[in-house]
């Protein structure tokens, strides 16, 4: 069983819709939770990170963590065609600094 | 721009050959992590170097090896290339103890093994 599970999609939504992305993880030792965006043939770009359960908002993006359920989510409001990319969840611990466990990535396509 | 550069951008090798990939970390970052990202998959942790010493390895065989230099540049070497080694190889530089948003990925090197 993988440490981080993520539905690979693809997920196709019309422009303006809310995009909902999810990951589950198996090890309760993980302490920080990140979402990356990756455009085709590029390196991952950090979108959001959080250390705690609850919601964290940044513009059109909301990251949600439920440590009791080992479930993390990313919501993108008012989606734009420029949001079309692969979104990767990643988790880590402060004991293993920089050694991230990634999900498989969800490909998102926002159609005009 | 993240300040992390990788070279070459892409290369093609044949099975059994050896390859060296290079990464230049952001200034002051003494930790570099290498990842392998196969097509359609998330990055998989290969190993990490901290102050020129290996500091943890993922589930990769010994033919994957690395070096980190005093100027914080680093190399990933892969011997006896196999077809399954075809992937995007990413390096990420960071500073332990700093905020997680100070870990930066490079653009990657795309390796194709024929």
> What does the pLDDT look like over A66-86, one tens digit per residue?
999 999 999 999 999 999 999
> What does the pLDDT look like over B47-101, one tens digit per residue?
999 989 999 999 999 999 999 998 889 999 999 999 999 999 999 998 877 777 7
Task: Show residues of chain B in contact with A88, CB under 8 Å.
Answer: 42-43
Task: Show residues of chain B in contact with A95, CB under 8 Å.
Answer: none
**What's the DSSP call for residue B26?**
P
- Contact in structure between A30 and A83 (CB atoms under 8 Å): no
Q: Tell me the pLDDT band of A99, cut-offs 50, 70 and 90.
A: confident
Assess A46–B contact: CB distance below 8 Å, yes or no: yes
Give strand pairing partners of A54.
Answer: A65
The yes-or-no verdict on residue A62 having pLDDT over 90 is yes
Report how far residue B60's alpha carbon sits from residue B14's, in angstroms, rounded to the nearest whole number.
Answer: 20
């Amino acid at each position: 069983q993988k440490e981080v599970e993520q539905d690979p999609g693809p997920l196709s939504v019309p422009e303006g819709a809310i995009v909902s992305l999810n990951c589950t993880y198996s090890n309760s030792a993980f302490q920080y939770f990140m979402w990356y965006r990756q455009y085709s043939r590029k390196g991952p770009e950090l979108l959001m990170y959080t250390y705690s359960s609850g919601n964290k908002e940044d513009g059109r993006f909301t990251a949600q963590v439920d440590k009791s359920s080992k479930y993390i989510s990313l919501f993108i409001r008012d989606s734009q065609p420029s949001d079309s990319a692969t979104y990767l969840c990643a988790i880590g611990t402060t004991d293993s600094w920089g050694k991230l466990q990634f999900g498989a990535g969800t490909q998102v396509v926002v159609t005009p | 721009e993240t300040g992390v550069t990788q070279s070459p951008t892409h290369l093609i090798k044949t099975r059994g050959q050896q390859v060296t990939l290079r990464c230049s970390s952001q200034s002051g970052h003494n930790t570099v992590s290498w990842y392998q990202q196969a097509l359609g998959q998330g990055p998989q942790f290969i190993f990490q170097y901290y102050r020129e010493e290996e500091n943890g390895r993922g589930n990769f065989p010994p033919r994957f090896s690395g070096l980190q230099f005093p100027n914080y540049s680093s190399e990933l070497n892969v011997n006896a290339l196999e077809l399954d080694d075809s992937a995007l190889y990413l390096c990420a530089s960071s500073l332990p103890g700093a905020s997680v948003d100070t870990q930066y990925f490079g653009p990657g090197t795309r390796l194709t093994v024929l």
